[in-house]
Structure 1
């Protein structure tokens, strides 16, 4: 979609409730104006290729006579059309003959496209080549511009008496799409389509609001003075619109001489013609922004429209200080989408849809929305797309947007659904925001992010070349160039997820022999450039692989091995300031990078010696050594070069040290300390509200009459907009988020003093909050417990401190996990079900960092009650399933969806899970259970900490759900051990195999299932207290095939 035209909203219908098309045809409107106001200005056209040649005024009388003359000339050259759909193609210079030719064809009944080829003299060589390739095509050279407009009163009128109703569904002309995402294609546009453009200024808008296009320049003045500078090609709709606006809405244009746009040329053109407004490609505006004269010229206009692509934020901020920026949007197929100039300083890069245009912004996940146009009763009056595709009931544009963080009516363009890069691990990202920020650097002409089905992204840069005769292609110059733009790339990296960020070694410059191919709009043809640079892209990734195949240092000293590891990890993460003691996962090393690190180390050690136990370098052991220091110990041990061995710290000692670290200084409140009684309605802090469970908990809280207000604590600055997106994606009521008196979103630092909040805000919490629901936690079963210390364990202690100081001695509800009881064993006293009570020993927790971190969190709560009187509840959550509602989706990266996707790819599905019971709870039910427990006075709590087990009391088996999978996919049930063996038979899976079979990333977990190591989870888990406190919990039935079918449909693998 072209970022060029107007955009949409929702309206009260016009008086009488009817939207009525103006019912005018272009050609009849030209003749009508020529008859009524013959000297009215149509536009200014250049006298030559230079601004100094001057401009000639074309009146409507001139245009009407030129159209009649062209019509007679076509009749003489070709005759009248012999079929209803006979077509003519026009190949010409970028001048006013385009509209003359189109209008003449309208009078004759020809469609403009391709069995006859008419061309201007300047295009004769190209026309000859086309004729040679097409055996039956007839070609004719059209009159020059001078001859076209040289006709006076003696021109014979070419009568045309058809009406709009007769012509509404007939093709007016065919035009090329831009070709941004592939080959340009012809798009037939009807007279009804043009009628929707005619309706533009009549679109109902809120009082005082301006269109994002030129509609507010429309005038009934017989001598209009506002000129719009047209600099875009007329073979594209963006260029032709200047003609249509003049004919329909009395907004005359200035046609640019046919010359490549440059800053100097545009400055001369604007100074000479003094337009009121213009529309320019972002690339030209970026060039103008670096020139003081250019900025002054842009500032001389009332407003400047830009289109075809987003504008780099830095450039837009600079330009908006000189003139009003407008960003209309549309496409060849859609025409103008109606939008308004957004209100508020700094919002120039957002769209605000005109309400009457009925845009439906549909969430697709990850905070992104697709622009969708539903067909409504009056769509044929306002929506061009339903003339282009009359069979559609709705049009999905594939254009993606993000919502403004605080104004829900504003939308920022994010990219095309076609643009989205899917990495080899299935993670997705849109490249547009990163590319536009990089293109804002004055040395960068174009930027293209690459990475489709790759392990990581790379960045191709087309530099600005001031001197085409210079040679700047040697390696040193390229390295210097990359170094010079690296700060901008780092800033751009902040706009994409960590897994999509570009490292310095993955940036390359384009070849001047292969400039990036552009569309007519001036945007990069992504697909074409990827094809042109396919060889270079392969070499970029091959070079990265070679860099990762680093030989071990010659001296296997501790210092040498540490530096070696720092170099590899720096290459993987793009971070150069890694200290030996830094937690690598806290720095952002992700699971794919850990796999790559494991591969690199195993390859290097194997090359060093075939006798070394490389199996000790499996990825699970990499996770267990989360710092360079720890990895150095591991690698030296594998190489049998380790230094003096020290007695290892036991697991129990390590966990006890952590608990002591965060509870050792707790003490009882002062004697006689006053605690205010519980309020009638609770004020709640909720952490992790934008996550899956957090979103449903928030909705339950906001609907509950016992809740006065919710403070949502999140680490991100855009939590409010992400929350709204989450509500919409899951089909929840967004109006619940509209009242700041009921819900506020605060950006916090969980590991910082007072959560990084100023004293005033923190004091507000101390005076009001009586319930804290701590739900935010990193879910990663590979990371060691030390990786959860900052900010997670620090955050628990932070909430303990808040509670001890708060007026109501706020109740702390800690959302824990059944992984803290995953290794529980029956006691000698005959207790066979895991009791709902605190656990004293880490031996009950699964031997993984996640479960251990939750155990430490629980113990902090226990010690806080025992030492400081902090009331707390521990909510041990089991497997959270997807929602029961059709909207929303179970996180596709979890182990159950990974199993299903891998089964689809292999054609086999496990018939069992090694004794693992299905005691899942759907996420929306779980949220209701949690709020019932925490807000139920009967459940408030004679003893603390109150422990609740939130697993389904009605267990079922995995085998009972397999038929639902078989009903959707052709899979054969096999024992888990056989299914797992097939995966393990892939020793070094490719990126493509990991994408198709994501269970390959969780082999350790599935081995535990197959070996029955996780069978401890099949022990009975007591849920009596949870059932007593929650009616929803008490009524839960077993997971059904119907639920499984719903989740399968949501994943849609």
Structure 2
């Protein structure tokens, strides 16, 4: 069995090779403390003899293992690690290889957890060992022989007689996690796990494709290894040497530096090197190091991303290859990506079976599902033999042009959750900043804060002991600005929120070389508080003009907003939200105005809230509002809500054009424009249209290039991607509020000639923004579609996807039933900009039918649920999955939702209903130019009927009153990042409190919809079985 790949045991391989090929090189080891002292070649025969010597020595010290006890080893990073490892195997012990940089508490924890009572060490670690010895009185400590002793002494062979089948599940090595968020966790790796490293070279891969590991390197070719042997990547170099004849080069025991690596490459001439990203970033700025790197065929890097500028630069010198793995799962099999500028991406080997599962936005989690051959190729199922799939917590984003390529984007526990619930992945921003030559490390801060800040660790070796912080920040600011472009606006860093680290408190790092985020946050707790305290003082320092004229306040407001948006070219009446103002900036602006007005002696300033900004979303409106506030004239300047909505409706209905030529009857098969096709409902709508034989073609209108995203969305939901044939669907990038949607005259003319039906599904969902912020492009977009229809050959039918928020304020005073007719009374509309904007859209559709004669349909959509299919998933960020995940964490689920009942419609069912309604409207539009349909489930069911399905999924879960459930959550003050992640309902408590109160007191009529759609007619209530399907998809 010594020669069967995937069934080889390290001690057996060593003894076999010592007989079969005794001169084979295992590696080069330094003979002294410096590279200049020279290197010695270790052959497999010398290694085998040293292992036997060490095995007999261990037996003499503590005897042979009786029941596979654990023995620990701490040493200089030299060849004795490997000799000890093999000697432990032969004597029957489990070798524990702890990091040399743990705290006392961590050593105590790891030794106790592994029941270790024998500790071996090299003389260089004597001081640290003495400290450990003081709190481990029940442990024996043994100084091991020197390298010359081990290689010069001879001994009888120490036989290892187990077969692979006997030893597969025996522990071969115990390493441990980094302990980034707590105590390090022991990770036992079996001989079966190591066999998957062996077999990795034999996994099939596409013809002419290269593996990212060393398997394409010629035998006996040197690879420089810089990772400690107590780390998986260090052990990997040893395994590759024995299993695949790729000898390693070890560095002298001294801190890693560009100079050390340069001299080692020059002296030993390896073909490849494994180097941490932080070291590569240092080397990129040193001419001699760059020259050394250029002599290598390959540079492998792992453990962390590489700054983009550095990778782009070094990829001109050598082949840069990124590798990913972990202590628990080993290395994930991938292929060297093909193409330009793809050095930082992964191309998973199809034979390995990676499943990239969508998490949120553009992020996907690497998941490894178990399969029949997993024990041969997946190390993770040796580490966790009972798992059916492994969720890595590692996040990736797709390449914008090559969807099969993936870039590492941090971990789920890296994600920062701001105080308003917005999520932010910091990794890309940090790596861009770290690409600056004066920056060693960067840490984005903001957990549970209003906004973000940046802590920068300069490259102190270059800077010296003193530094001009202000000048330093000015120097790196252009790089920070570039980094800001990589994150959402709410996560961008202001220059005033950047601080430098203390040279006496270097950032703590993991063995992989990544920043220990939680540890650094703790070390710099006071400094972080000071950053935010200073920002509060800066806000308080803003002063109103001395003379409060309209003009002065206008200038004052313009200055504040220009600073927030970093724009000096804003129009006086330009909508601030269309210009880019977001919710966090709204809070900041309200807070600044509040403090400035109150500080000037006007208590009414306390009335300035976010809502006031939303209601006055331009420089002129805000200046007038401030003037009226401080002069006491606010009441005289307000208009009623009904008047405001009427004015908006009139503003846009007056723009509607008239048809000048008669329309042609619609063709037998429909050509459809669909907007918002990449969203959840949009994806299923597109699928329904493409599977409909009566639809000739679909044009998808989106605000950004959507073809790749649509492919991914179909695949994620288990929909047939072959339907996305360019002959049936065409993706167009449009601007909804622009003339001709921003399309060329030729393309617009083509659409006018062919399109006969429009489903307008794209709309901003933000319940804080005022009506005015929806005008451009959303309401303007409705006008553009009406204009399109009037000019089109077939008088294209416009169907508008509205919302039940347009009837959410309906009371019994308006009638016992909400009819499927146009709404006249604005009191029926929820008091929110979103609902009001949908109401305006509905009224525009009615006006288009009554005036220009455009056939229109309004779909008032209620709560959209997850799909009925096994594939696909109800968005994890929505309120129902959020409630379920939180209930799992607390062990309790609400027994009811107050008075609210479940009238949800599954998203795939809803798309079918919509398509059926489209055909109904094509048939009756000549007699009924305008129609309204309510897309809510006619068969309501109490929430209590779904609770048993949740309790079945999570045995022991208790059903409690909604108020009790909320009270327990509200009792959690200042929740930690982990608590927010485990109990996401903490971010939606106001929503859950208001859930029952938002119930309509009248019922919603659906009779017209049921008569027009056979699927709606047969729609039943949401069942426990359907809830079980969603629970399985979420799998919290």
Q: TM-score, normalised by structure 2?
A: 0.86
The higher-RCO structure (CA 8 Å, 6+ apart) is 1
Q: CA deviation at 1:401?
A: 2.2
Contact 2:65 2:92 in 1 (8 A): no
What SS does structure 2 have at the residue aligned with 1:639?
A: helix
Equivalence for 1:445: 440
Contact 1:883 1:924 in 2 (8 A): yes
Relative distance call for 1:742 and 1:166 in structure 2 (3 A) is same
Equivalence for 1:815: 801
Equivalence for 1:3: none
Equivalence for 1:325: 320
Relative distance call for 1:1047 and 1:573 in structure 2 (3 A) is farther
Q: CA deviation at 1:329?
A: 1.3
Measure the CA separation in 2 of the matches of 1:880 and 1:69: 70
Q: CA deviation at 1:75?
A: 3.8
Measure the CA separation in 1 of the matches of 2:625 and 2:842: 31
What SS does structure 2 have at the residue aligned with 1:755?
A: helix
Measure the CA separation in 2 of the matches of 1:969 and 1:631: 50
Q: CA deviation at 1:161?
A: 3.3
Per-residue CA deviations over 1:705-761 (Å, capped at 9, x if unaligned) read: 3234433333245x45554555566x4425356644444544433233443445565
Q: CA deviation at 1:175?
A: 1.9
1:158-307 maps to which residues of 2 (within 5 A)?
Answer: 158-217=158-217, 219=219, 224=220, 226-307=221-302
Relative distance call for 1:20 and 1:415 in structure 2 (3 A) is farther
Relative distance call for 1:436 and 1:576 in structure 2 (3 A) is farther
Instruction: Say whether 1:692 aligns with 2:680.
Output: yes
Per-residue CA deviations over 1:613-671 (Å, capped at 9, x if unaligned) read: 84x4354334222234323333333333659x986666566555545654545544454
Equivalence for 2:88: 105
Measure the CA separation in 1 of the matches of 2:168 and 2:944: 58
Relative distance call for 1:710 and 1:229 in structure 2 (3 A) is farther
Which residue, 669, 694, 719 being the options, matches 1:733? Answer: 719
Equivalence for 1:972: 961
Structure 1 unaligned spans of 5+: 1-18
Q: CA deviation at 1:181?
A: 4.4
Relative distance call for 1:1006 and 1:189 in structure 2 (3 A) is closer
Measure the CA separation in 1 of the matches of 2:1033 and 2:371: 28
Q: CA deviation at 1:776?
A: 0.8
Per-residue CA deviations over 1:81-132 (Å, capped at 9, x if unaligned) read: 2422233322222222211221222222232225333322333333333333
Equivalence for 1:31: 15
- Greater alpha carbon shift after TM alignment, 228-237 vs 414-423: 414-423
- Greater alpha carbon shift after TM alignment, 507-516 vs 886-895: 886-895
Q: CA deviation at 1:998?
A: 4.9
Per-residue CA deviations over 1:583-612 (Å, capped at 9, x if unaligned) read: 333344444554565556556655655864
Q: CA deviation at 1:29?
A: 1.5
Per-residue CA deviations over 1:310-330 (Å, capped at 9, x if unaligned) read: 122232222223322211211
Instruction: Say whether 1:1030 aligns with 2:1018.
Output: no
What SS does structure 2 have at the residue aligned with 1:356?
A: coil
The aligned length equals 1005
What SS does structure 2 have at the residue aligned with 1:948?
A: strand
Contact 2:301 2:323 in 1 (8 A): yes
Measure the CA separation in 2 of the matches of 1:414 and 1:861: 44
1:285-364 maps to which residues of 2 (within 5 A)?
Answer: 285-364=280-359
Measure the CA separation in 2 of the matches of 1:353 and 1:72: 44
Relative distance call for 1:758 and 1:243 in structure 2 (3 A) is farther
Contact 1:365 1:726 in 2 (8 A): no
Relative distance call for 1:1044 and 1:140 in structure 2 (3 A) is closer
What SS does structure 1 have at the residue aligned with 2:460?
A: coil
Measure the CA separation in 1 of the matches of 2:612 and 2:423: 28
1:786-935 maps to which residues of 2 (within 5 A)?
Answer: 786-804=772-790, 806=792, 808-820=794-806, 836-838=820-822, 845-865=829-849, 870-883=854-867, 920-935=904-919
Equivalence for 2:431: 436
Equivalence for 1:124: 126
Contact 2:759 2:801 in 1 (8 A): yes
Q: CA deviation at 1:812?
A: 2.4
Measure the CA separation in 1 of the matches of 2:881 and 2:94: 53
CA RMSD, Structure 1 to Structure 2 (Å): 4.3
What SS does structure 2 have at the residue aligned with 1:441?
A: coil
Q: CA deviation at 1:807?
A: 5.2
Equivalence for 2:671: 683
Contact 2:892 2:965 in 1 (8 A): no
Relative distance call for 1:781 and 1:530 in structure 2 (3 A) is closer
Relative distance call for 1:106 and 1:945 in structure 2 (3 A) is same
Equivalence for 2:473: 482
Measure the CA separation in 2 of the matches of 1:580 and 1:1030: 49
Contact 1:626 1:783 in 2 (8 A): no
Q: CA deviation at 1:520?
A: 1.4
Instruction: Say whether 1:541 aligns with 2:532.
Output: yes
Measure the CA separation in 2 of the matches of 1:1045 and 1:571: 50
What SS does structure 1 have at the residue aligned with 2:414?
A: coil
Contact 1:213 1:327 in 2 (8 A): no
Measure the CA separation in 2 of the matches of 1:535 and 1:346: 41
What SS does structure 2 have at the residue aligned with 1:516?
A: coil
Measure the CA separation in 2 of the matches of 1:215 and 1:986: 52
Q: CA deviation at 1:258?
A: 2.7
Equivalence for 1:749: 735
Contact 1:309 1:523 in 2 (8 A): yes
Contact 1:424 1:995 in 2 (8 A): no
Q: CA deviation at 1:297?
A: 3.2
What SS does structure 2 have at the residue aligned with 1:418?
A: helix
Contact 1:771 1:811 in 2 (8 A): yes
What SS does structure 2 have at the residue aligned with 1:704?
A: coil
Q: CA deviation at 1:211?
A: 0.8
Equivalence for 1:4: none
Q: CA deviation at 1:519?
A: 1.3
Measure the CA separation in 2 of the matches of 1:927 and 1:949: 14
Relative distance call for 1:550 and 1:630 in structure 2 (3 A) is farther
Instruction: Say whether 1:62 aligns with 2:46.
Output: yes
Relative distance call for 1:364 and 1:638 in structure 2 (3 A) is same
Measure the CA separation in 1 of the matches of 2:300 and 2:779: 51
Contact 2:803 2:835 in 1 (8 A): yes
1:513-662 maps to which residues of 2 (within 5 A)?
Answer: 513-550=504-541, 552-553=543-544, 555=546, 557=548, 558-559=550-551, 561-562=553-554, 565=557, 581-591=573-583, 594-595=586-587, 598=590, 601=593, 612=604, 614=606, 616-640=607-631, 654-655=644-645, 658-659=648-649, 662=652
What SS does structure 1 have at the residue aligned with 2:413?
A: coil
What SS does structure 1 have at the residue aligned with 2:238?
A: helix
Per-residue CA deviations over 1:296-344 (Å, capped at 9, x if unaligned) read: 4333322211100112223222222332221121111211221111233
